[in-house]
Structure 1
Amino acid sequence: MGDFIKKFFDIKFWKFILVGVINTLVGNGLQFVLFALFAWDRYEWGVWLASALGYLIGSIVSYFLNKYFTFKNTEKGWKPILRFALNIAVCYALSYCIAIPLIKWICTANNFTMFSFTVEQFAGYTSMILGSCLFVAFNYIGQRFFAFKEKK
């Protein structure tokens, strides 16, 4: 078990975290700006649309940084791109299919809000934060062991 932990949290993990900080600034920054700028906070689909556009742009940045910097993957062609895209899609769907209903249920059941947001606005922003955290965890596992897995 100790060897697995050491391998899991090696230098690749820390590079992934560094790339993730960059992706967070780009992707999440864009998603929060879109959510607020276009008043998508009024609609449940606003979280989906703002987060999808943010993740699309962030994922493009992530692909190049993780392929060449984090995992030093030299594989050419469409296969790594397709594996990466599949990983991103699965991680995104899984993360937000958990985060949105969970946060909406918690906030509406308890009429919970902060900072003068409506319950719906607060639930939307909080869903994006939880979804982002879940996405990071799922995405690291998917990129490390599927999208850019080491050839033996």
Structure 2
Amino acid sequence: MFRHSFIKFLAIGVINTLIGLSITYTCLNILGLHYWASTFIGNLLGACVSYFLNKRFTFQSKAPFMGSSFRFAIVIILSYFAAYKIGLELVDEIVMLLALPTGYIEEIAVLFGAGFYTILNYLGQKYIVFPEKYKQGPRSLQ
């Protein structure tokens, strides 16, 4: 079951990634916003799409909106700060250790952060936001 829901999560994540990263890079490089503002805005909009698509298709959940949306927001916020902080610190350390040019640290850190975010977000949604007790049967999706 883990593999099946994770594959659906990844497929829906492609949509979220296209939306989130497009907005993040637009904010960062075109609008000139700070790293944290850019990643926050991109992830916020991607998260809205993620909530509705994952609730219905990935986890087939009947969890009430108020409770699940609150848990979702907590998972998203914690995943966001943990993942993008780790991504930024990791890339910064690698660049310094290898004496690489520092011009694209934030752009590369966004990609590392997105990978960490995906893993943390999936685990949080699966076990905290849309746990098995709210799973709906296959007929209720029709």
Q: Is TM (by shorter chain) over 0.5?
A: yes
Calculate the TM-score normalised by the size of structure 1.
0.82
Aligned residue pairs, count? 134
1:1-152 matched pairs, under 5 angstroms: 7-10=1-4, 12-40=5-33, 46-113=34-101, 119=102, 121-151=103-133
**Residue identity (%):** 31
Q: Distance in 1 between matches of 2:82 and 2:88?
A: 10
Q: Distance in 1 between matches of 2:66 and 2:44?
A: 18
CA RMSD after TM alignment:
1.4
Calculate the TM-score normalised by the size of structure 2.
0.88
Deviations 1:28-82 (A, max 9, x none): 1110111110234xxxxx2111100000000000001001111111122410001
User: Deviating runs (4+, > 2 A) in structure 1?
Assistant: 108-111
Deviations 1:2-32 (A, max 9, x none): xxxxx3212x111101110000000011101
Gaps of 5+ in 1: 1-6, 41-45, 114-118
Q: Distance in 2 between matches of 1:66 and 1:77?
A: 13
Q: Distance in 2 between matches of 1:19 and 1:52?
A: 19
